Amino acid sequence: MEKNQEVKGISFIDSVIYAAGGMGTLSFQGIIKGYYYMFFLTNVMLLPTVAAASIYTSLTLVAIIAMTVSGMIMDAVRLPWGRQRSWILVGNITSALTVGFMFYRFENVNVGTYVIFAIAINFLYNLFYDWTWVGGRAIISAMSSSSADAVKLTTFAEFGTKLAGLVNVLLAGWLIEKFGANGQGYMIANFLMTLPLLLLTPIYMKMTKKFDPPRKLAGEATEEVKKAPAAPKVGFKDMIKSFTRPAICYYIAAAFACAQTSFFSVLLAYYTNYVLNNPSILGISSTVYSAAGFLGVLITPWLSKKFTNKQIYAWLTLIAAFPYLLVMWINGNPILFVGCRFLTGLIATPTAPIMVAIANDVADYNELKGISNARSFVTSMMGTMIRVGLLIASAISSFGLAAVGYDATKPMTDTVLKAIVTMMGWGPAAVCIVAWAVMLLYNVDEKEIDAYRRQKAAVAQGVAEAAPAEE
């Protein structure tokens, strides 16, 4: 190539494969758990509400630990198929083999035994899932020559996630009912919904090879690539150094921003069954939410051209608080509730791909400034803080149900109904406001980061002899 040739951006085909074979189809695994797990514990396993809330909250702690451990393992251990691709491959296979067992229905099991089983299987599944989750996001930097490329990839991934969510809403309930809603239907549905990820993994691995080549390269690789040193291992001190000001601000904002969805996911089945007295609204509202999400995905690239990642993430998170508050004033009207879900999906969706793009901004900022190259750890910390947010919301909502006296074996009371509505309104609105306030303190110069990325991309594509970036 000529040295003055411009660095190529990410192609449309690569973006589609990235979404279809990775982050999009991975979403099939988490959606059933998000909507049905607490309901499964109380209404299928028939556990006391306090016990179910304790299990649900403790498993979120398990997920937090698993996410942090996954990033540390990925940065410290080198597998032969690429720094990130190796873990994506292993994670796809192992998570698919364990995902359904979270919903295994035991007969006549005591609570103590079930807690041990639930913690063990959830830790294993989360660790395997996190290898794919972290690897799929950490590889974005290698695939991107600019912030626009990163946003493009995350936008395609979010589009795939919304499509997966829509398919899941249409199929999950039917699969659960078909295979026995009071038996092993949840487990079988989970296993079936993870098949697309496995089927598309080979295509995904082939496409990403050029961005994250194996350590043992095939014969067609260039001599320059063959001679290139393997990426250095990242020590614990480097991981600690990665906690810079932008990283800390971003982690805290992400925790609170992501807490908003957990309030709805935990309480939605209860709200539709008891407040609206119409269980089918769960599927309808989730479908509308996904449809609105498609529109949100489509406007994300336009927003990224007009505003910085910080501006998009902070202000849309704040605006998202208002549809949540509207839930408290619709008096259980199903049509208005569906309308609130549409607004939430439209407003909140662009923040999801932007959140991932910001994680790569933080990792590149640390690398540019010579602070740390703990890229997988930074990405895993993003996931860890997301789960911290889920812990906050799930603890409030699940123990809130127990505190106001919810019992699946007893008639519903007005006190419990009002509590469900209040938690679904004020809970997510409050965390959105906190996330906005914290994100205002985030201080990464995106123009500087883009210049650094173009330099790295030029080296990778062989179009320029780039010197190391200066601080």
CA distance 352 to 402: 31
Dig out the tokens for 400 from the structure. Answer: 């809130």
Is residue 272's pLDDT more than 60?
yes
Task: Name the band, by pLDDT with cuts 50, 70 and 90, for residue 460.
Answer: low
Task: Tell me the average pLDDT across 149-177.
Answer: 79
CB 446 within 8 A of CB 149: no
Split at pLDDT 50, 70, 90, the class of 463 is very low
Res. 221 pLDDT band, cuts 50 70 90: very low
**434 Cβ contact partners less than 8 Å away, ≥ 6 residues apart:** 256
Contact yes or no for 284/460 (Cβ under 8 A): no
> Which residues does 426 contact at the CB level (< 8 Å), separation at least 6?
324, 325, 328
CA angle centred on 267, ends 261 and 270, rounded to 5°: 150
Length of the chain equals 471
**Domain boundaries 13-207+235-461, CATH class:** mainly alpha
Are the beta carbons of 371 and 242 closer than 8 angstroms?
A: yes
Residue 251 has pLDDT above 70, yes or no: yes
Q: What average pLDDT is seen over the chain?
A: 82
Identify the helix (H) or strand (E) that includes residue 407.
Answer: none
| 348-382 tens-digit pLDDT | 888 988 988 898 899 889 888 888 888 888 888 88
When mean pLDDT is compared across 1-15, 285-299, 410-424, the lowest value belongs to 1-15
Residue 459 pLDDT grade (very low, low, confident, very high; cuts 50, 70, 90): low
Residue 241: is its pLDDT beyond 50? yes
pLDDT at 227: 44
Structure token digits, residue 378: 């930074």
* Domain ranges, ordered by start, for the chain: 13-207+235-461
Cβ atoms within 10 Å of 242's Cβ, excluding its own: 24
What is the pLDDT confidence band of residue 244, given thresholds at 50, 70 and 90? Answer: very high
Residue with tokens 């449309």: 12
Confidence of residue 12 (pLDDT cuts 50, 70, 90): confident
- State the pLDDT confidence band at 232, using cuts at 50, 70 and 90: low
Q: Which pLDDT score is estimated for 318?
A: 96
Query: What is the share, in percent, of the chain residues with pLDDT greater than 90?
Result: 17
- pLDDT for residue 34 is more than 80: no
Q: How confident is the model at residue 247 (pLDDT cuts 50, 70, 90)?
A: very high
How confident is the model over 378-420, as pLDDT tens digits?
888 888 888 788 788 878 888 888 888 888 778 888 888 888 8
